[in-house]
């Protein structure tokens, strides 16, 4: 696995190398965004397995090259639980993440034989790998050059398997004739993120 670190933004050459899809994930100081916590890292993996980890500028969060990819409708953004990542990226980078595939939503719609829909579960089933999630509770806000190899590997593991998982889940969605309802869920995600940012964290459809 090749990991390349960037501060503030990817360069234009890397941005121009993405053609069809990227896998994406984020790390933050906590889960209460935007009320309390901040976006700390952005991880990207291309179709060849190259991982790029970006530490945004905490003063202005300007990353025009990265934003150009996130807003490019021709490039698919694959993520796991994009409800959180999409909200974080859009709030801090002041952008709109377009053309997405959420592996957690896909798993819940098509893997009805289990209630285990975490990334670790999907990596085990589709990639036959066991993820070590012990580095998840880390200080991701320290300088990127001070992050340990284990922390960087943890961050990279959150994106390195997503292309394979997406491919397998998509086959299942087509087979079970649930691709259409999955796409409708993705279309609703913009509204769900807006509700989150307005403080409506609960399921508003419950009685």
The mean predicted confidence, pLDDT, of the chain is 95
Pair 20, 46: CB distance under 8 Å: no
Pair 44, 35: CB distance under 8 Å: no
Under-50 pLDDT residues of the chain: none
Q: For the segment 149-182, what is each residue's pLDDT rounded down to a tens digit?
A: 999 999 999 999 999 999 999 999 999 999 999 9
pTM metric for this prediction: 0.95
What is the distance between the alpha carbons of residues 191 and 13, in angstroms, rounded to a whole number? 33
Neighbour tally for 145: CB within 10 Å: 8
Counting beta carbons within 10 angstroms of the beta carbon of residue 168, is it exposed (0 to 12), middle (13 to 18) or buried (19 or more)?
middle
Q: Name, in order, each residue with C-beta under 8 angstroms of 96's C-beta and a sequence gap of 6 or more.
A: 70, 71, 90
Res 136: pLDDT: 64
Phi/psi of residue 64, nearest 5 degrees: -60, -35
Res 149: pLDDT: 93
Does CATH place domain 3-197 in 3.40.50.1010? Answer: no
Pair 206, 197: CB distance under 8 Å: no
Name residue 78's beta-bridge partners: 23, 101
């Amino acid at each position: 696995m090749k990991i390349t670190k960037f501060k503030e933004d990817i360069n234009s050459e890397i941005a121009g190398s993405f053609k069809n899809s990227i896998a994406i994930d984020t790390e933050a100081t906590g889960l209460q965004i935007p009320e309390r916590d901040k976006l700390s890292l952005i991880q990207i993996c291309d179709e060849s397995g190259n991982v790029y980890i970006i530490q945004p500028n905490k003063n202005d969060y300007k990353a025009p090259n990265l934003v150009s990819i996130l807003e490019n409708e021709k490039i698919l953004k694959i993520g796991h639980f994009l409800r959180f990542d999409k909200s974080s990226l859009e709030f801090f980078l002041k952008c709109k993440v377009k053309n997405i595939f959420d592996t957690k939503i896909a798993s819940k719609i098509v893997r009805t034989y289990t209630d285990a829909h975490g990334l670790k579960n999907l990596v085990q089933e589709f990639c036959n790998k066991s993820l070590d999630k012990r580095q998840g509770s880390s200080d991701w806000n320290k300088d990127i050059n001070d992050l340990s190899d284990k922390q960087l590997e943890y961050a990279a593991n959150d994106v390195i398997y997503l292309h394979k998982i997406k491919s397998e889940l998509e086959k299942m969605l087509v087979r079970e004739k649930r691709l259409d309802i999955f796409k409708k869920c993705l279309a609703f995600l913009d509204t769900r993120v807006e509700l989150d940012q307005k403080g409506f964290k609960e399921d508003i459809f419950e009685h």
